[in-house]
Amino acid sequence: MRTVERWKRFWSQQTTPLHQSDSADFYRVCAEELKVLFGNHAPKRVLEIGCGNGALFDFLNFDPANYRGVDFSPTLLAAFQSRYPQVALERAEGASYADHENQYDLIFSHGVIQYFDMPMLDTHFASARRMMHKNSLFVCASIPWRLHRSNYERGRLTRQLRPSLLRMLKSKIARGLFGDSMGHWYNLDEISDLAAKHGFSVEFYGSMVYMYRFHAVMRCK
């Protein structure tokens, strides 16, 4: 099954974004971390890829009139739209999404590009570049870091699990048989090479929320 079809089927049945917590306090912390990544950038037009049910929107203080959210889960989009009927939302596959009419000051995602394989990620970077102007910011946040996958699977990087070699072995077997439930894990050099290919400079930051993830903040060269 193609990557996009696998995840489209999976997310069509979900009612939450499946983060480590679904509490308001958790999303508030995630939003504060995103604001640090955005820095002094004060975007007017914002595009969020993989907006889900709008859990982060509650805490990011974007102008609803200048925000667009994209996701391919009808259940999550419906939940978002019911709380913010004035917000522009679009059901679409995020990796290939392209708005041919608008440029955005900020394009971002959070815990999303792990569901893109490398060809999809290449398409996503190309599409984002075409929707940006010279001062735009492109943020791919909360990317699973392959360097830390073994320690994550062993339970060393999560408070919910006790470290275990058996757990790591079971995870590797399951990954080989059924694919990684986390999606794709990336290293910094892969993102750096892709950023250079599409004309971006990139800065990396470790996640304060997830010890096994990193963020990529990109600007047009």
Report pTM.
0.85
DSSP sequence for 64-90: GGGEEEEES-HHHHHHHHHH-TTSEEE
Residue 171 shares a structural domain with residue 196: no
Residues in the chain, how many? Answer: 221
> Which are the contacts of 208, defined by CB distance < 8 A and separation ≥ 6?
33
128 and 56 within one domain: yes
Are both 135 and 165 inside the same structural domain? no
Pairing verdict, β 132-144 and 104-110: parallel
pLDDT in tens, 36-76: 999 988 899 999 999 999 999 999 999 999 999 999 889 99
Spatial CA neighbour of 93 closest among 123, 55, 60, 56: 123
137 and 160 in a common domain: no
In tens, the pLDDT along 14-27 reads 556 556 666 889 99
Are 153 and 109 contained in the same domain?
no
Same domain, 43 and 128: yes
- Angstrom distance (rounded) from CA 192 to CA 186: 11
Residues 57 and 35 in one domain: yes
Q: Are 74 and 91 in contact (CB under 8 A)?
A: yes
Domain co-membership, 172 together with 118: no
Q: Does 212 lie in the same domain as 131?
A: yes
Average pLDDT, the chain: 86
Examine the domain organization and report whether 209 and 157 are in the same domain. no
C-alpha closest to that of 99 among 76, 73, 131, 126? 131
Q: Same structural domain for residues 128 and 33?
A: yes
Our count of domains for the chain comes to 2
Q: Compute the distance between CA of residue 174 and CA of residue 161 in angstroms, rounded to an integer.
A: 17
How does strand 46-49 pair with strand 67-71?
A: parallel
- One domain for residues 108 and 204: yes
Confidence at 173, pLDDT banded by 50, 70, 90: very low
Beta bridge partners of 69: 48, 89
Residue 193 has pLDDT above 50, yes or no: yes
CB 93 within 8 A of CB 73: no
User: For 21, left (φ over 0), alpha (ψ -120 to 50), or beta?
Assistant: beta
Alpha-carbon gap, residue 188 to 46, rounded angstroms:
25
Domain range enclosing 202: 3-145+186-220
Domain containing 121 — which CATH number?
A: 3.40.50.150
